[in-house]
Amino acid sequence: MKKILIGDHIVKMFGEGNEQRNVLDGVSVEINKGEFVTIMGPSGSGKSTLLFALSGTDRVNGGKVLFDGKDLSACSENELSDIRRNKMGFVFQQPTMLKNLNIIDNIILPSMRDNRKNAAKISEKAGSLMKRVGIAGLEKRDITQVSGGQLQRAGICRALMNGPDIIFGDEPTGALNSKSAQEIMDLFSEINGDGTAVMLVTHDVKVAARSERILFMRDGNIVTELKLPKFDGTDMERRVEDVTAKMLEIGI
């Protein structure tokens, strides 16, 4: 299977002088095209740092990150920005929306940078995505006039606007109630079913249980992983039990 993302002995340091420490200590990982991967581990284990390194959001101090064969470490900031905007999508725990823009304008904003002449088509696509994720009719609402779950759906729409090869999510359900979290995970499963790779950082066992592969981190390293069958919606209880048992086994 084609590898879409490769991290080769990634090192990421924070701090200066005697305070400097490795947050990622030579991490190697491969993500296949269309794969659904989650990262779990205790706070401070390097989960989010790994996600930011693999997505080119943070520069690494050592090793390489290859996205679709391209060395992100050798890219300029403009090149990285183009790759992230056109090939990657991002969904965070708290959607980063501009308060002075309504929902649909927030969704289309990143796509308008290079395509102002196609504004009508971009708006049409945003409307179709909003319908797909269940927030049609909220286009003109301010971001303060919708629920957290609806705002997260808008964030997913924005992440999908340019047809990315991979979606990165950092605790995308962390601020949601259980019902909204399940609905958001249903969307991620649907997106993945369409062929888009998904990589999520999570503390939630039920979120991790939706994925095909779980990477467990501790102290800046991947200590082990758990592979699961493709989620079909019928075996959630057993999957949660498998993830929980693995966490107990490795002491996470």
Query: Using H for helix, E for strand and C for coil, what is the string for the chain?
Result: CCEEEEEEEEEEEECCHHHCEEEEEEEEEEEECCCEEEEECCCCCCHHHHHHHHCCCCCCCEEEEEECCEEHHHCCHHHHHHHHHHHEEEEECCCCCCCCCEHHHHHHHHHHCCCHHHHHHHHHHHHHHHHHCCCCCCCCCEHHHCCHHHHHHHHHHHHHCCCCCEEEEECCCCCCCHHHHHHHHHHHHHHHHCCCEEEEECCCHHHHCCCCEEEEEECCEEEEEEECCCCCCCCHHHHHHHHHHHHHHHCC
Domain interval for residue 125: 3-250
Per the prediction, the chain carries an average pLDDT of: 91
pLDDT of residue 184 exceeding 70: yes
The average pLDDT across 76-99 equals 90
As for how many domains the chain has, the answer is 1
Backbone phi, psi, residue 173, to 5°: -110, 5
pTM here is 0.92
- What is the predicted pLDDT for the residue at 32? 96
pLDDT of residue 110 exceeding 90: no
- What is the predicted pLDDT for the residue at 115? 67
- Which has more pLDDT, 232 or 196? 196
**CATH code for the domain in which residue 149 is found:** 3.40.50.300
What digits encode the pLDDT tens for the residues 168-178? 999 998 888 88
pLDDT of residue 95 exceeding 90: no
